[in-house]
Structure 1
Amino acid sequence: MVVVVDIRLNRYSKVYNEQEPIRGTVIISSKTDLRHDGIILSMDGHVNLQLSSKTVGIFEAFYQSVKPIQLLSYQIELGKSGKLTAGITELPFEFPLRSRNNRVLYETYHGVFINVQYSLKCEVKRSFLIGTSMSKSLEFIVEYGNNSAAPSNPSLTELITPAEMKRIDFEMVSEAGSKLGVFKAHGHIDSVVCPITKPFTGEIIIEKSEYPVKSVELQLVRVETTGCAEGYAKDASEIQTIQIGEGNVCRGLPIPIFMIFPRLFSCPTVCTTNFKIEFEANVVVILTNDFFKSENFPIKITRF
């Protein structure tokens, strides 16, 4: 007997803000009558934390205490024990997207050591006498809305100073005799406080280079911190690298810095007592002798 269980949301993008209703339909297809012991639909949201393997030995007690943080949990019964007739059965549902116990619904984020995920799961229960239970899961995306509490979180507001809202100038210099030889470049970043819906922008100008330039690159790096009373572990990992200049670029020519923040792999900066999600940008100039010069910018990502 072939049975297909599917979950379809009314919103094609699967993107929701807090307080919005999540509506959809559970579709069960069966070629024959289907006996079951109940149809349950649950909605869960949680933050999964883990440590990198290099820190397990250092924080072994901490490693055991890293537990998921539950942000929301709801469950409804779509059907009582009984029988579904052959064919297609549609069961509409609606959930309120509200946190419990004053939790903040952080934005969906897929990282290396931190994951913030929200999902729906439908289970068609069946006893071992009539067959095996069937289930279907579907992830949906949560973003901060105008009425969300998270963007006005004081811990995030304290990170943003008026100076960071303005243009940030930088210089990249090395003298003769160094591995880079004579090298001089300068540029600017338009702002290190970046709305996630807008590009990260600026420019770099290479004035002098004793060795030919091989590549000019822009890197986006996530810095994830997990911790509790036993200690904290901080790990940085690359999200994406974009080449903004190829080969021995012209001297004195402005090279635009332009990067779109990738969906799911980046989110507004989060700072809590148990975990932090922060970001950095690196402007890197690689020379033909495979040495490089880089400039690092800690950035704060916001939704608005």
Structure 2
Amino acid sequence: KKSQEIRTSGRIGSGTTEVPFSMNLKQHGEENLERFYETFHGADINIQYLVTVDIMRGYLHKSLSATVEFIVETDKADLLERPVSPEMVVFYITQDTQRHPLLPELKSGKMSTQCSLLDPITGELTVEASSVPIHSIDIHLLRMESILLGEKIISETSLIQTTQMEMSVAT
């Protein structure tokens, strides 16, 4: 918890008074022991940052207070401290993930395992042959939340986004 006094006590005239302020979360040239994670609202886990403003009005008057959430996004330059090449992972769609038999067909793809929230998630899907016509391909983005509770790991999966690609065959 950090506190910062904006203005010393005294009387404020009637009418609207604006008091500008700013706070640095990271001090340049100073060792930062605290790590700031991106704001996250999950089903079981939340990471949020709040600004609380307290106005002390003396002994005879009740203090005023307000709290507002603000969003923290990781600076792209701070994502990786050392250069790491984006790794592409290869995946295969196997028979147990399909309703129709694959026969000798091969469906595979690859996608990057590291991405920024500011950039699109990229990858590719290869269908070499299909005994059944493909009308569309659905890509689901899932978030997996895990928490250690005693000696058990409890996980929950949430659907974040679904993208459907319509397929058309030129005749």
Q: TM-score, normalised by structure 2?
A: 0.69
| C-alpha contact (below 8 Å) 2:48/2:69 kept by paired residues | no
| C-alpha contact (below 8 Å) 2:38/2:74 kept by paired residues | yes
Structure 1 residues 232, 181: CA separation in 2 closer, same or farther (over 3 Å shift)? closer
Structure 1 residues 250, 94: CA separation in 2 closer, same or farther (over 3 Å shift)? closer
| Alpha-carbon offset, residue 109 of structure 1 | 2.4
Structure 1 residues 119, 151: CA separation in 2 closer, same or farther (over 3 Å shift)? farther
Partner of 2:80: 151
| C-alpha contact (below 8 Å) 1:144/1:151 kept by paired residues | no
Pairing partner for 2:153 from 232, 244, 252: 232
Quote the Cα distance in structure 2 between the aligned partners of 1:206 and 1:241. 24
Structure 1 residues 251, 120: CA separation in 2 closer, same or farther (over 3 Å shift)? same
Partner of 1:194: 115
| Alpha-carbon offset, residue 206 of structure 1 | 6.8
Partner of 1:90: 18
| Alpha-carbon offset, residue 250 of structure 1 | 4.7
| Alpha-carbon offset, residue 143 of structure 1 | 1.0
Question: Is 1:119 aligned with 2:50?
Answer: yes
Partner of 1:76: 4
Partner of 1:205: 127
Q: Which runs of 5+ in 1 are unaligned?
A: 1-72, 253-304
Report how many aligned residue pairs link the two structures: 164
Structure 1 residues 87, 206: CA separation in 2 closer, same or farther (over 3 Å shift)? farther
Structure number with higher strand proportion: 1
| C-alpha contact (below 8 Å) 1:224/1:236 kept by paired residues | yes
Question: Is 1:133 aligned with 2:133?
Answer: no
Q: Which runs of 5+ in 2 are unaligned?
A: none
Identical aligned pairs, as a percentage? 23
Quote the Cα distance in structure 1 between the aligned partners of 2:24 and 2:153. 34
Q: Please give the root-mean-square deviation of Cα atoms over the aligned residues, in Å.
A: 3.8
| Alpha-carbon offset, residue 182 of structure 1 | 5.3
Q: TM-score, normalised by structure 1?
A: 0.43
Quote the Cα distance in structure 1 between the aligned partners of 2:148 and 2:32. 21
